[in-house]
A = this chain, B = another copy of it.
Amino acid sequence: MTENQPKKPSKSDRTRAQILKAARLLFAEHGYDGASIRDVAAHASIDPAMVIRYFRSKDELFARAAVIDLQLPALRVLDRNAVGETLIRRFLEIWESPASGPGMAILLRSATSNEFAAEKLRDVFGNQVRPVVAAVADPADPADAGRRAGLVSSQLLGLAMCRYLLRLPPVVALSHDEIIQNIGPTLQRYVVGEDVS
């Protein structure tokens, strides 16, 4: 087995990173179809052919750009009465902290017309959102956990759509506190509220 390359900030790695950065920016802003490889190349000050060289195709470039780890906090059963607020606070970090990157915007922007993005988004739900919700929901009823996680996702994806993609004026105008105080209780009820059959 060969070395993994512990040290190698070689020339190629830098341009590779430049391309990926430009791709993430443009995919997040214009979606899969709206961002052409030529646009990405121009933004990275490179030839379009290089984009294909480093990533084998536009699809693979998008797949690389769409990697995302929500890093949702592990909801402990202890703070059952604060899960709503905890979730909505993390949501705001993911979407508005520059450190988090535009990962979710990339997926959400393209999920309506690109099946790969849609599938990836369903994966994020199943592997990152659902387990976290399930940890505080009824452990004896896995279907219930899925339902609760689905409700949570419907509210959070809707808020993201209205605030960051559609830019609905009254939703953009909401302050962080207003969002927390309004959406938090909704999520709280979805996760731990006593609901229906």
A interface, CB within 8 angstroms of B: 30-31, 33-34, 108-113, 118, 121-122, 125, 130, 143, 146-147, 149-151, 153-159, 161-163, 165-171, 173-174, 177-178, 181-183, 185-186, 189-190, 195-197
* Contact of A165 with B195 in the complex, beta carbons under 8 Å: no
Q: When chains A and B are docked, how far (Å) is the Cα of A166 from the Cα of B107?
A: 11
The chain B residue with its CB closest to the CB of A178 is: B196
B158 touches A161 (CB 8 A): yes
- Complex: how many Å from CA A197 to CA B31? 35
- Within the oligomer, what is the number of copies of this chain? 2
Chain B residues closer than 8 Å to A190, beta-carbon distance: 182
Closest to A156 in B: B158
Q: What is the predominant secondary structure among interface residues of chain A facing chain B?
A: helix
Q: Please judge, given known A-B contacts A112-B109, A186-B189, whether A170 and B155 are in contact too, CB under 8 Å.
A: no
Identify the closest chain B residue to A105 (Cβ). Answer: B112
A109 contact set on B, CB distance < 8 A: 112-113
Q: Which residues of B contact A181 (CB under 8 A)?
A: 195-196
- Docked Cα-Cα span, A186 to B149, in Å, equals 15
The chain B residue sitting closest to A117, CB to CB, is B166
| Contacting residue for A158 out of B34, B125, B157, B182, CB 8 A | B157
B154 touches A171 (CB 8 A): yes
Closest CB pairs A-B (n = 5) = A158-B158, A150-B170, A31-B113, A146-B170, A150-B171
